[in-house]
Amino acid sequence: MSKNFANPAIVLKLCINGLGVSRCLGHHGVQVIGLSQDQNLPGIYSRFISEIWKYNGQEEDMIELLLQKRDLFDAPPVLYAITDAQVLALVAHLDRLRDHYLIGLPPKPELVIRTISKKGFHKMTDQYKLPAPQTVFIDNPGEIEQIAGKMKYPCIIKPEFRSPAFARVAKQKALCCHESKSLVAFYHSFCQADPRAVIQQWIPGGDEDVFFCLQYYDRSSRPLVSFVGKKIRQWPVLSGGTASCIPVDKQELESLSTAFFTSIGFHGLCSMEYKRNPIDGQFMMIEPTIGRTDWQSDVATINGIPIPYVAYCDLAGVAIPEISRSFRAIKWIRWSADKESAEQYRKQGKLSWWCWLWSIRPPHRWSVWRWNDPKPYLWGLGRKVRKKLRKIFGLGGQARKEPDRNF
């Protein structure tokens, strides 16, 4: 693979999100280095990764590794954060990193922290008079019982910050609650890791009413590229991550997103998630993603809009090529999660197998499988086969049934 650029790129995690970023950059001839603290990630096996830097521990260890490697390059690498925790770690050490790496983030760390915080974001939507659902915040466990008794149901509860501590104890990132008992139970499942939580008005509609706008802003807070899509299904249903999605033409959502990010003076990769109320058609801002690509951002790349590459060109001072969206709407599908989601809808009588297959008909791309980069998929397939054999032969106990998040 030819390397056409002086500046390499460093992708800070090689999960499905990082794999999509790596493929986008590698396809355009950028040298990609991957960081990993976990060997069970598909991106490690991608042919677009030229080198793997391993580290043990948390985000502080990642920062120390980056500082140890800072003098290895003739031209500063472009950094791509993949998780909120990584974005916050970069922000905390911007002064130490900026002389050695190119980082798409605003110069004021407090702007990033405030926007990642769901409480801070909610205050911003009030300030700029942008549409957002009613929201209640919890700061300590003593508040949950009283708040649960006053809420209108259904409602959504999720952590204020999706921290590594939360990820270690929570089975899902949010929960749609129909009564106070489930609200209190879900809160107690993660509050010891972090008591800060958000309870949000439930907007009617299903997975197919969730939309998103993916963007990149230059140092002058000008949007250089935008892409709007909608989810087909989520897993877990109604409150989970994207299982399948498709591009859509919704200029209204691009305008709303641009109004928000330009108002706050943002620089870097970002996205905004929306929920459409099917009763009145109004879109509500649900939450932003700041300083990194979103889980399903590869849907933009496969439809001709290579957002990570546009960010690279801007940060590295390379001319941005003309880009145009594919004339076909190509779906992005995380196969195992979409199958689980479809199965739940089928059991509820809301989706037949035939309708499911029709909803993911070609043209589509799987999140992991690609003809020009098959090893991540083959690794995942082998991993699933080994799990199945261990289960059949009684080795390692009974595994919990759930889709592989990295497959």
Residues 95 and 15 in one domain: yes
Tens digit of pLDDT for each residue in 258-301? 999 999 999 999 999 999 999 999 999 999 999 999 999 999 99
% of residues, the chain, pLDDT over 90: 72
The pLDDT of residue 399: 46
Whole-angstrom Cα distance, residue 359 to residue 354? 9
**Beta strands across the sheet bearing 9-11:** 49-54, 32-36, 9-11, 78-80
Number of alpha carbons in the 13 Å side-chain half-sphere of residue 294: 27
Whole-angstrom Cα distance, residue 205 to residue 282? 11
Strand-pair partners of 137: 198
Mean pLDDT of 79-104: 96
What are the structure tokens assigned to 308, written together?
């990570």
The pLDDT of residue 39: 80
Pairing of strands 268-276, 283-290: antiparallel
Distances in Å between the Cα of 41 and the Cα atoms of 11, 138, 369 are: 13, 34, 14
The pLDDT of residue 16: 95
pLDDT category of residue 1 using cuts at 50, 70 and 90: very low
Residues 6+ apart with CB under 8 A from 185: none
Tens digit of pLDDT for each residue in 294-330? 999 999 999 999 999 999 999 999 999 888 888 899 9
What are the structure tokens assigned to 45, written together?
């096996």
Residues 93 and 138 in one domain: no
Tens digit of pLDDT for each residue in 158-216? 888 877 777 777 777 788 899 999 999 999 988 888 899 999 888 999 999 999 999 99
pLDDT category of residue 401 using cuts at 50, 70 and 90: very low
DSSP 131-172: ----EEEE-SGGGHHHHHHH--SSEEEEESS--HHHHHH-SS
CB 157 within 8 A of CB 187: yes
Burial bucket for residue 363 (CB in 10 Å: 0-12, 13-18, 19+): exposed
In 3D space, the residue among 311, 286, 291, 290 whose CA is nearest the CA of residue 300 turns out to be 311
Residue 110, phi then psi, degrees to nearest 5: -65, -30
- CATH for 26: 3.40.50.20
Residue 405 pLDDT greater than 60, yes or no: no
Whether 400 is in a domain gets the answer: no
Residue 11 pLDDT greater than 90, yes or no: yes
Whether 183 is in a domain gets the answer: yes
Burial 25-45 (b: 16+ CB within 10 A, else e): bbebebbbbbbbbeeebbbbb
Whole-angstrom Cα distance, residue 389 to residue 274? 42
The pLDDT of residue 57: 77
pLDDT category of residue 395 using cuts at 50, 70 and 90: low
Tens digit of pLDDT for each residue in 27-68? 999 999 999 888 889 999 999 999 999 998 789 999 999 999
Burial bucket for residue 389 (CB in 10 Å: 0-12, 13-18, 19+): exposed
Model pTM score: 0.89
CB 101 within 8 A of CB 11: no
Domain count, the chain: 3
pLDDT category of residue 3 using cuts at 50, 70 and 90: low
Assign 361 to helix, strand or coil. Answer: coil
Q: Looking up tokens 């620089």, which residue turns up?
A: 267
Whole-angstrom Cα distance, residue 373 to residue 47? 6
Whether 211 is in a domain gets the answer: no
Whether 366 is in a domain gets the answer: yes
Whether 176 is in a domain gets the answer: yes
Mean pLDDT of 217-223: 97
Mean pLDDT of 139-151: 90
Whether 358 is in a domain gets the answer: yes
Residues 141 and 92 in one domain: no
* Last-in-domain residue among 201, 234, 259: 201
What are the structure tokens assigned to 105, written together?
């983030």
Number of alpha carbons in the 13 Å side-chain half-sphere of residue 219: 9
Residues 20 and 60 in one domain: yes
CB 309 within 8 A of CB 323: no
* Last-in-domain residue among 177, 201, 225: 201
Residues 78 and 160 in one domain: no
Whether 259 is in a domain gets the answer: no
Whether 313 is in a domain gets the answer: no
Residue 253 pLDDT greater than 80, yes or no: yes
Residue 375 pLDDT greater than 80, yes or no: yes
Whole-angstrom Cα distance, residue 52 to residue 78? 15
Residues 100 and 138 in one domain: no
Residues 100 and 139 in one domain: no
Higher local confidence (pLDDT), 401 or 128:
128
Domain around 363: 336-392
Return the minimum-mean-pLDDT range out of 8-17, 124-133, 344-353: 124-133
The pLDDT of residue 402: 45
Residues 68 and 151 in one domain: no
Residues 14 and 81 in one domain: yes
- CATH for 143: 3.30.1490.20
Residues 141 and 184 in one domain: yes
